[in-house]
Amino acid sequence: MAVSVTPIRDTKWLTLEVCREFQRGTCSRPDTECKFAHPSKSCQVENGRVIACFDSLKGRCSRENCKYLHPPPHLKTQLEINGRNNLIQQKNMAMLAQQMQLANAMMPGAPLQPMPMFSVAPSLATNASTAFSPYL
């Protein structure tokens, strides 16, 4: 059984919660200070969340009316941290899948068995103090 990891565009790390007060029109903080997103009218808001523009994070969005949020610097920093953590998580999942595939290839159809750390000679098994001596 082969385990394959296909790269899927994951936008969860680009998602930000929209400021509820901003949605009501009552947020007293500017978008540069609020810890929640203040999206423009062109942004798509779904269930109180908005997706940040990946191109904007890279400083190269050229869309006139972008449907994604162009975050202020403090939210951009948080998204960059989220992106790095997401990459680490994807790499860990890929390594785990590779290890599982290797384990399955080494022992097809059989579960992995723990290997004994040491063996005890039958003559020593009657005396517990010598049976577990690290010097034998």
Domains by residue range for the chain, with CATH = 12-105 (3.30.1370.210)
Contact of 52 with 11, CB cutoff 8 Å: no
Structure tokens at 37: 């997103």
The angle formed by the CA atoms of residues 5, 101 and 13, to the nearest 5 degrees, is 30
CA 98/CA 118 separation, integer angstroms = 30
9-38 residue pLDDT tens: 677 889 999 999 999 999 999 989 999 999
Q: Tell me the whole-structure pTM to 2 decimals.
A: 0.61
Contact of 34 with 19, CB cutoff 8 Å: yes
41-86 residue pLDDT tens: 999 999 999 999 999 999 999 998 999 999 999 999 999 998 899 8
